[in-house]
Amino acid sequence: MSAAATARQEKASGPLRHRDFRLLWTGESVSQFGSAATRVLLPLIAVDALGADSFTMGLLNAAAWLPWLLIGLPVGAWTDRMRRRPVMIVCNTVSAALMLSLTAAAWLDALTTTQLLMVSLLLGTADVFFRAAYSAYLPSLLPAEQLADGNARLQTSESAADVVAPGVGGALAQAGSAAVGFLADGLSFLVSAVLLARIRTPESPPGGEERASGKKALVREIRDGVAFLAGDPFLRTILACDAAMNLFLAGAQSLAIVFLRRTVGADGTVVGVLIALAGLGGVLGAVLAPRLARRVGTARAVLLCAFGAGPFGLLIPLTGGGAGLLAFLVGEFCLMAGIVAGNVVIVSFRQTYCPPEMLGRVSSGIRFVMYGTVPVGSLLGGALGMAVGDRDALWILYAGNALCALLLLKGPLRTLRDLPTPVAEAPR
């Protein structure tokens, strides 16, 4: 085969040429399918079987994200000191055990709101460790020029799971088969752990000899990561916008299922199908993100996704019965397309822009701020739902989300076609 033909084949296959990326991708795809079903199944069980109100739903959503606020920063520095793959394997194994505990409780008809809250909190803790390791691990499997396509494939799988799995979760809740859904999610975590264990790419101790030998204190490492993040105008501007959006979207998402179930009157299966169909927007966003970035530039793609998607959220409070369900579907579809496309561009930018030895700390610093707003937003959504009703609360929250795009205009993105690509130098 000629060199030109080989180059064309490598370009066409992209990240899938790499065996270890295929293992990571497959494991994450299976795990995301189980988790996507549980994201619908668990709140439906809370609403229908346990009688949860709007504020309890806010607490349930907040519990899953609270660990980011409590331990997000030290976990990022800690994972920069370790090989990432073993951390990911342990996290998946712990998550599997937690889901199997829900399986047992469901089979014994012993599920309680307290158990759901505790499992959500512990799953969130495992996710903090997993995501800190995961973001820093992917660049070790793919060359820099393939990271955008690799992230797009991973995001496409997650979005595809959001299309297929929620309908399954809703149907299981409607049929009273929660144990089956929890069991499937637990097994999906185990499959992911096994596939991660089969990856062969050697992973050297992150951060070099100085950090591996423990000469830098953990506090200083955290401070370096925060200083790098706070001092960079690109990372800082994008983070401010994303964190503010997360605050409002978390509140809206904590109310979505109770709104559809009790205010609109949709049954569990319909709720699952609506969320599944809306997830097609995420698939579209993930597929189009690399092309959009190449066509208009990465900086303009981020602006386009933020300003173009937010206003569609205002359709969701218009949702009613029958044909009125289309308002939820169209609004959520377009919102998800913009969010996912923007995320693919932003994550790929960070992975090439940040110093490799700081990527875990910087990524966890970003998640600490972004995800730290989620429990606050969830509680805000629950409180607003109780105070003004779910529909009026959604008007407030989606309007706030749409306005957050204005924060991007305060940074350097508004004057550029592309985000910078050179790897920045780490502080010493």
- pLDDT > 80? residue 298: yes
Residue 233 falls inside a structural domain: yes
pLDDT tens digits, 93-118: 999 999 999 999 989 989 898 999 99
Contacting residues for 23 by C-beta, under 8 A, at least 6 apart:
195, 196, 198, 199
CA 409/CA 233 separation, integer angstroms: 12
Residue 426 falls inside a structural domain: no
Q: Which amino acid appears at position 14 of this protein? A: G
More confident of the two residues 59 and 396: 396
- pLDDT > 50? residue 208: no
| Burial of 214 from C-beta contacts in 10 A (0-12 / 13-18 / 19+) | exposed
pLDDT mean over 43-52: 80
pLDDT mean over 218-225: 75
Nearest to 370 by CA among 184, 229, 255, 263: 229
**189 pLDDT tier (thresholds 50, 70, 90):** very high
Residue 278 falls inside a structural domain: yes
Q: Which amino acid appears at position 103 of this protein? A: T
Residue 425 falls inside a structural domain: no
* Angstrom distances, CA of residue 107 to CA of 44, 48, 92, 103: 17, 17, 23, 6
Angle at 267 between CA 263 and CA 271, to 5 degrees: 85
More confident of the two residues 363 and 13: 363
Q: How many domains does the chain have?
A: 1
Residue 423 falls inside a structural domain: no
Residue 7 falls inside a structural domain: no
Q: Which domain holds residue 132?
A: 17-203+216-415
pTM for this model (two decimals): 0.73
pLDDT at 205: 58
Q: For 23-27, 162-166, 242-246, 365-369, which range has the lowest pLDDT when averaged over its residues?
A: 162-166
Write phi, then psi, for 176 (nearest 5 degrees): 70, 30
pLDDT tens digits, 191-204: 999 999 999 887 76
**338 pLDDT tier (thresholds 50, 70, 90):** very high
Here the CATH number for the domain that contains residue 266 is: 1.20.1250.20
Residue 300 falls inside a structural domain: yes
Residue 210 falls inside a structural domain: no
pLDDT at 29: 87
Contacting residues for 275 by C-beta, under 8 A, at least 6 apart:
40, 162, 166, 167, 170, 256, 332
The C-alpha torsion from 265 through 55 and 331 to 348, rounded to 10°, is -140
